[in-house]
């Protein structure tokens, strides 16, 4: 039977001081190994030698023999630190930013690639032993625990457990009411093809004045002082609150969608290009850069990519389908006659200049996305084996 991967996140509770010391020590050790691996890789490159992730793994046993405090950490956990660096370089080769040095206040987690044992509210990890957590939800009976990541956050320690379960049998689509197209926007975060809208909560935009005030206070303090550290914590807590509020909202919205529909047509967006900064004078319009900057903030505040990612993996868990389609001209094409013209759309409203059909512009776009997805799906099914 096909398997799928799930992850659950729990907050650790009743940690002993000795366990906190071990966790903090392992995070620090993994950060050192990450930076050492980066230094070795860069030095080898300057000498004309390219080191693979496997080459870095082979150097770990000698490193563990040389330093006792590195030997205390599980070997596979150290390998994961190298894996993170390898992932960062692969992202760089694909056009991402160059990997940075791991800083003490940013590198805050480590991963164990095996779990020794577990029972309700407790989990046993190699070299750490039993850890207690707030048992907010139960693992499925068929779950096979694979790996765990411990993260240090502002309000305590968390454990993210990855496990494997049997996949749910795909649901057959029997009627149009089971299908929905979803169009992302700004005024409304998402518009559905059935005419309903998901409100844009603007978690960052509605609270940015408080953040700017806190950041301004921080900028006036001496870096490294006690007051600076306290104020930096205030700013960090604000960002955490905004991120958690947005994450909670996205989980609730995707949960409702998954339990209302069985087939989803979404836009195949390249958000990195959509939110790219505009060079000076590039727009040719007065205040064009400022307007584009504001649009970028709105798009990032909605976090479209994160929303679609949650929708995709929840659909996979429940045997449902998410189909990505090219959104080109979806907001300019009439859903009734198929005529495409720029003049048919006037901001939030759509009025076809060819047939006179009127609709909400985003709803019309969502309907087009659904039609494109279904037509492609039909063509795929009609192809001979």
| Residue 139 phi, psi dihedral angles, 5° rounding | -75, 145
Are 353 and 378 in a shared domain? Answer: yes
For residue 225, is it within any domain? no
For residue 208, is it within any domain? no
With residue 181 as reference, give the H or E element that holds it.
strand 179-184
Are 189 and 322 in a shared domain? Answer: yes
The confidence band for 128, taking pLDDT boundaries of 50, 70 and 90, is very high
The confidence band for 169, taking pLDDT boundaries of 50, 70 and 90, is confident
| CA gap 293, 301 in Å, rounded | 12
Are 34 and 111 in a shared domain? Answer: yes
192 SS3 class:
strand
In angstroms, the Cα distances linking 78 to 25, 58, 87 are: 13, 11, 15
187-213 mean pLDDT: 91
For residue 67, is it within any domain? yes
For residue 218, is it within any domain? no
Going by C-alpha positions, the residue among 278, 273, 380 that lies closest to residue 327 is 273
What's the pLDDT tens digit per position in 147-157?
999 999 999 99
Are 18 and 131 in a shared domain? Answer: yes
Q: How far is CA 7 from the centre of its chain?
A: 13
What is the number of alpha carbons within 13 Å of residue 156 lying toward its C-beta?
A: 12
Going by C-alpha positions, the residue among 105, 104, 108, 102 that lies closest to residue 151 is 108
Which residues is 245 bridged to in the sheet? none
Going by C-alpha positions, the residue among 205, 213, 217 that lies closest to residue 242 is 205
278-286 mean pLDDT: 55
Tally of structural domains, the chain: 2
Q: Which residues of 276-306 are buried (b: 16+ CB within 10 A; e: fewer)?
A: eeeeeeeeeeeeebeebeeebebbebbbbee
Are 37 and 55 in a shared domain? Answer: yes
Are 319 and 192 in a shared domain? Answer: yes
For residue 223, is it within any domain? no
Are 80 and 183 in a shared domain? Answer: no
Helical packing angle, 226-258 and 304-317, nearest 10°: 50
DSSP state of 140: P
The confidence band for 282, taking pLDDT boundaries of 50, 70 and 90, is low
The confidence band for 385, taking pLDDT boundaries of 50, 70 and 90, is very low
Are 283 and 348 in a shared domain? Answer: yes
What is the DSSP annotation of 335-377?
A: TTT--B-GGGEETTEEE-TTT--EEEHHHHHHHHHHHHHHHHH
For residue 237, is it within any domain? no
In angstroms, the Cα distances linking 101 to 67, 78, 154, 364 are: 21, 16, 21, 47
What's the pLDDT tens digit per position in 348-363?
899 998 888 899 999 9
Overall size of the chain counted in residues? 385
Helical packing angle, 53-66 and 75-93, nearest 10°: 140
Domain boundary among 166, 187, 210: 166
84-91 mean pLDDT: 96
Are 129 and 193 in a shared domain? Answer: no
Q: Are strands 156-166 and 3-13 parallel, antiparallel or unpaired?
A: antiparallel
Whether residue 269 has pLDDT greater than 90: no
Are 297 and 338 in a shared domain? Answer: yes
Q: Which residues contact 22 (CB under 8 A, 6 or more apart)?
A: 127, 128
| CA gap 158, 8 in Å, rounded | 10
Are 191 and 115 in a shared domain? Answer: no
Are 33 and 76 in a shared domain? Answer: yes
For residue 13, is it within any domain? yes
| CA gap 382, 376 in Å, rounded | 10
Whether residue 198 has pLDDT greater than 90: yes
What's the pLDDT tens digit per position in 225-266?
999 999 999 999 999 999 999 999 999 999 999 999 999 999
Domain harbouring 290, CATH code: 3.30.420
For residue 371, is it within any domain? yes
- Token digits of residue 11: 């907050």
With residue 40 as reference, give the H or E element that holds it.
helix 17-46
| Range of the structural domain that residue 316 is part of | 176-202+245-382
% of the chain at pLDDT higher than 90 = 69
Residue with tokens 């947005």: 246
């Amino acid at each position: 039977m096909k398997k799928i991967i799930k992850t659950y996140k729990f907050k650790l509770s009743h940690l002993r001081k000795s366990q906190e010391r071990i966790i903090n020590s392992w995070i620090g050790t993994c950060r050192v190994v990450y930076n050492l691996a980066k230094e070795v890789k860069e030095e080898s490159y300057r000498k004309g030698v390219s080191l693979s992730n496997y080459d870095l793994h082979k150097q770990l046993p000698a490193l563990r023999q040389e330093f006792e405090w590195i030997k205390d950490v599980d070997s596979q956990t150290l390998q994961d630190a190298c894996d993170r660096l390898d992932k960062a370089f692969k992202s760089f080769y694909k056009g991402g930013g160059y990997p940075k040095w791991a800083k003490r206040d940013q590198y805050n987690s480590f991963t164990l690639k095996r779990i020794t044992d577990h029972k309700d509210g407790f989990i046993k990890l190699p070299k750490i032993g039993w850890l207690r957590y707030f048992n907010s939800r139960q693992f499925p009976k068929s779950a096979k625990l694979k790996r765990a990541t411990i993260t240090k956050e502002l309000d305590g320690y968390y454990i993210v457990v990855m496990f494997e379960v049997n996949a749910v049998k795909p649901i057959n689509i029997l009627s149009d009411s089971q299908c929905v197209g979803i169009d992302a926007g700004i005024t409304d975060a998402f518009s559905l093809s059935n005419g309903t809208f998901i409100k844009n909560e603007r978690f960052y935009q509605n609270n940015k004045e408080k953040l700017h005030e806190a950041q301004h206070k921080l900028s006036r303090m001496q870096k490294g002082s006690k007051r600076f550290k306290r104020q930096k914590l205030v700013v960090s807590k604000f960002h955490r609150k905004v991120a958690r509020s947005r994450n909670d909202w996205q989980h609730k919205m995707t949960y409702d969608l998954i339990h209302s529909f069985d087939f989803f047509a979404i836009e195949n967006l390249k958000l990195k290009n959509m939110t790219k900064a505009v060079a000076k004078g590039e727009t040719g319009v007065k205040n064009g850069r400022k307007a584009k900057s504001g649009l970028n903030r709105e798009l990032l505040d909605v976090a479209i990519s994160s929303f679609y990612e949650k929708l995709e993996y929840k659909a996979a868990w429940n045997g449902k389908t998410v189909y990505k389609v090219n959104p080109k001209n979806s907001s300019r094409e009439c859903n009734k006659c198929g005529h495409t013209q720029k003049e048919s759309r006037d901001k939030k409203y759509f009025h076809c200049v060819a047939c006179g059909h009127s609709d909400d512009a985003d709803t019309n776009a969502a309907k087009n996305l659904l039609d494109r997805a279904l037509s492609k799906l039909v063509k795929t099914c009609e192809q001979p084996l």
